[in-house]
Chain A
Amino acid sequence: MQNKGALYTESTHPKVASDLAVHNKKVQEVRSWLDTCFDNFPRVLLLTGPTGSGKSTTVELLCKEKGINLLEYDEECLLDDEINGNLELERYLTQSAARLLPGKPKKSIIFVTSLPDAAYNNIFDFRDRLHNAFFDLKLPVIFCLSDVDSSWHLNPNRLFTATFLQKNGIDRIKFNAVAITYLKKAVNRAASILRLTTSGTRIDAICEESNGDLRLALNMLQMNSVGRPSSSTCSAKSNREETFHMLGRILHAKRTNGTNTLMSSSQKRKLIKPKEQPKSDGIRHPLEYDVSDIIQMSSMSGEKILDFLHENELKFCDKLRNLRNISDKFSLCDTLYSDWITKQRLPDEYNAQISARNVMWFNFECKPPQWCSLHGPLLSDLNREIRDSVTELRRLSMIGDSQFTTLTSPYSTMISGILDSNQITSYLSRPMNMSWKSGRDSLHIQIDNYANSIYFKRNAEKISKIRKEAIQNEITEENDYEDEKITIEETDDEADSDDSFENFHP
């Protein structure tokens, strides 16, 4: 075995394009881009795909093949807050051509595999700077970024929106997760290079578990090749799917047929296979899965489990009485969480147990629809939306006006007849059919469209006419009121004249 310390992913790195575990079509796409990227002006490519799908490997290999030099962008200022990472990137993109040795006529491409933190924290700045940099580009650029499904904040699609790509003429190639056949081929190739004696079934299992991530598959292969063969394949990374499996187990609350009361974990695995519905004989047989197991395996916090269950429970429970019990317990769990004292003293798991066991008990003999999709909790989105509005509201001088949102803002919109999406008052008192779900940006557009509609405009015109009349009235009456105004000031003086203050601040 060569090079003991190295990872398998490195020691079995493909050497020629035919070894790549990437679909030929994709390889061809990248190749033809590399052929054209030096024509006329330097071009920019955005390469995305799940982790371990062979993005950077493909680029590196093809460039080697074509004799292109790759300039990899390293982030030099990881911990320094002072330096703007976006500016640094812009400089790198525009000035790196100068760093090349003049003697070498070799073609070069800038290869960006990671973006500075500042890019994620300030997207607008990032986009502006990139936009500027693209005018000044001397070399083609490849952005090679992994899809991050778990976090929108880190998702490349957030930075590189479709409009941004179009505006700057950025090409885009998307890689898919490695297909299972390619995966098998690649793992087999690695095994043969390293002369491993891993059984075929084991390799199949690894490919199955790795979810199309070649790097993960090879790491698992390495994990399995050392030590004595154990019965379980090395665990894959936890992902979203896993979460939804756990939820499904809680919500469906499947029960055994009542034949075996105590099951070991291996028996449980077998039981999954024959998927027969337990007969409904009105007796509560033991649950198919142990609650504590599910909660432990889901590796979610109790609060999160609660949110997920709350979001999805309604589709599963068709009996109102049971639903009443469940929602009562949800409400109890929430108060337990919110109370500072119980939150500190009660292990987090208790709440998860209360909610999960309660749901499983009361979902007994409920018949959910055949196809039932589970959703992540909407509640967190809603809370974010509310938080945004509240921070905007706080900027107004409305301290202590507890009725601002309930009374003042709806009525003042009615009274002023103005609907401006940038004003928080208008935004909050928008018509009820404009749902928050469509998102802030699209809501702004909807509100503006509505404000421009004929019906609304006519109304607004009418109101402004009435207002003008009212102001006119006031002006004519001004003279009548003037005397009174003076008397008011006089009484002011009598009450508590504050001359000292006047002297203080002339």
Chain B
Amino acid sequence: MALWVDKYRPKQLFGKDGVTFNLEQAQHLKYLVSDNSMPHLLFCGPSGAGKKTRIKCLLRELYGAGADRTQLLVKNFVTPSNRKLEIQTVSSNYHIELTPSDVGIYDRVVVQDIVKEMAQTSQIDSGAQKPFKVVVLSEADSLTRDAQHGLRRTMEKYANNCRIILCCESLSRIIEPLQSRCIVVNVPAPTENDISLIIRDVLNRERVEMPEAVIEQIIKKSERNLRRALLMAEATRMQNGNTINDNFIVPKPEWETYIEETAKLILSKQSSEIVAKVRERIYEVLSRCIPPNIIFNKLLEFLLPKCADEIVSEIVSEAAYFEHRLVLGQKAIFHIEAFVVAFMDIYLTHSSKPK
């Protein structure tokens, strides 16, 4: 059975089954593709804001139902240094979707080859169909600079029969030449009001009654992430059935609670033994494939409220410093741990200072 998130995903940009927030933008997108042409697009926005949904709708708008007939394909590539790469792609007759950063530093080869391949096989009957195909690159912000530069050239070269849609969270990691070649579509996170409307709508369609207090809780815990909100709602429903108690506590993912406990551990005592324990716990979370930057953010989120105002700025600057290193480096634990130790030191010096 499909999750609510997938079941109630909007099918159209505009209309009865269309997207329900940022309507003006959605309408704009619809006009954008109405005359059979489309510029390169760059979708950016926080996770759970509906970037992917909009891209899907856009493709459907362009190519009709054919864009939905997708298949999973493993593509093989060979780098100039004769290294063999494999990457998963989802493709239909009209578009291909992939996450080039899966192959790490070899993403340039993958990006260029894919675009070339798509451009070389032009549509047979260009009169009846769109003259171009679309390449959707997910997580474009984790593309290496090299790949982005490569993309810049390929993009111009094959612009006639291949359009590119980039999808990313943060615009700051996309090089400027690339930004200027695309139309940037900023998809902001839904407001709490939007989320509340959507949840109520879904609950209504599922014929589930949920007390106001629980809905409020979901909205608050959703962090303005629609996917999170819907998953929470469904989990709540599945744990309770049709009668949901007023003071039911909406479940969080277990690893989040685990990190919260870790943060408490850090605050309880500052010593190298605790650092060793924290390391164990972080390993545990890492082993579940939780991305290190998310661990970092969550940890900071739980630690900061417990700090005195004087040290907050110092801590945040340390966090930024080590998060930057985390992006550059490979061994996540080194940087997370360095931050934890730095935090402990700052926290301890401050709390042991005579008031």
Q: Hey, which bits of chain A sit against chain B, CB under 8 A?
A: 307, 310, 314-315, 317-318, 320-321, 323-324, 327-328, 330-332, 334-335, 337-340, 378-379, 382, 385-386, 389-390, 393-395, 397, 399-403, 405-408, 410-412, 414-415, 417, 428-432, 435-436, 462-463, 465-467, 469-471, 473, 477, 487-488, 491-492, 495-498, 500-501, 504
Contacts and interface: CB of A to CB of B under 8 A. Distances in A.
23 contacts: A310-B333, A314-B279, A320-B341, A320-B344, A324-B338, A324-B341, A328-B342, A386-B286, A389-B288, A397-B90, A400-B139, A407-B253, A408-B3, A411-B231, A411-B232, A412-B231, A428-B289, A436-B284, A466-B242, A488-B11, A491-B15, A496-B63, A500-B128
B1 A471 contact: yes
Contacts of B167: 400
Contacts of A408: 3, 5, 227, 231
Given A399-B98, A436-B287, A498 B65 contact: yes
* Among B105, B241, B334: residue with most chain A CB under 10 A: B334
B288 A429 contact: yes
Given A331-B325, A334-B330, A500-B125, A414 B251 contact: yes
Given A466-B242, A473-B207, 5 more contacts: A314-B275, A331-B322, A331-B325, A399-B88, A407-B228
B337 A496 contact: no
Interface in B162-199: 167, 169
B329 to A, nearest CB: 4
Given A320-B341, A407-B227, A466-B238, A338 B330 contact: yes
Contact of A393 (B287, B289, B342, B345): B289
B206 A415 contact: no
A492 B329 contact: no
A405 B289 contact: yes
Interface residues of B, number: 86
Contact of A469 (B138, B242, B271, B344): B242
A40 B306 CA distance: 76
B334 A331 contact: yes
A497 B64 contact: yes
Interface of B: 1, 3, 5, 11-12, 15-17, 47-48, 52, 61-66, 72, 88-90, 93, 97-99, 102, 105, 125, 128-129, 136, 138-139, 167, 169, 206-207, 225, 227-228, 231-232, 234-235, 237-239, 241-242, 251, 253-255, 258, 270-273, 275-276, 279, 283-284, 286-291, 294, 322, 325, 328-331, 333-335, 337-338, 341-342, 344-345, 348
A473 B342 CA distance: 56
Contacts of A317: 272
A334 B335 contact: yes
Contacts of B348: 320
Contacts of A337: 329-330
A314 to B, nearest CB: 5
B17 A488 contact: yes
A431 B334 contact: no
Nearest to A473: B207
B338 A327 contact: yes
Contacts, number: 212
Given A399-B90, A399-B138, A491-B15, A340 B272 contact: no
Contact of A431 (B48, B63, B128, B254): B254
B253 A491 contact: no
* Among A328, A337, A385: residue with most chain B CB under 10 A: A328
Given A394-B88, A471-B1, A382 B287 contact: yes
B48 A403 contact: yes
* Among A315, A429, A465, A496: residue with most chain B CB under 10 A: A496
Nearest to B278: A314
Given A405-B288, A466-B241, A501 B64 contact: yes
A403 B99 CA distance: 13
A321 B88 CA distance: 46
A394 B64 contact: no
Contacts of A470: 206
Given A340-B105, A386-B286, A335 B325 contact: yes
B15 A320 contact: no
A432 B284 CA distance: 8
B255 A314 contact: no
Nearest to A404: B289
Given A334-B325, A405-B288, A487 B16 contact: yes
A496 B64 contact: yes
Given A403-B227, A473-B207, A334 B253 contact: no
